[in-house]
Structure 1
């Protein structure tokens, strides 16, 4: 590839940051009690 390595590293860094944000949002949205424990 004829892409500067700095560009690749920068885009990977941004992608990792975005993934971390999305995963943390997902963790916040998870229920505190598992559905198996709630089921009667």
Structure 2
């Protein structure tokens, strides 16, 4: 792997991590709303 390839790969990994974090935040928000409404 070249340095340029490594940089592109790292950027892709960071994008995937950002997406995962956003998904987790969304799930957390939905769970909090569900709990606030008293639904199990």
TM class by smaller structure:
0.5 to 0.7
Q: Are 2:28 and 1:26 aligned?
A: no
Listed as ranges, the gaps of 5+ residues in structure 1 are 34-40
Runs of 4+ more than 4 Å apart: none
Q: Which structure carries more helix by proportion?
A: 2
Aligned residues: 32
Q: Which runs of 5+ in 2 are unaligned?
A: 1-5
Which protein shows a greater Rg?
Answer: 1
CA RMSD of superposed structures (Å): 2.2
Instruction: Give runs of aligned pairs for residues 1-40 of structure 1, distance below 5 A.
Output: 4-31=9-36
TM-score (norm 1): 0.67
Q: Report the TM-score, using the length of structure 2 for normalisation.
A: 0.67
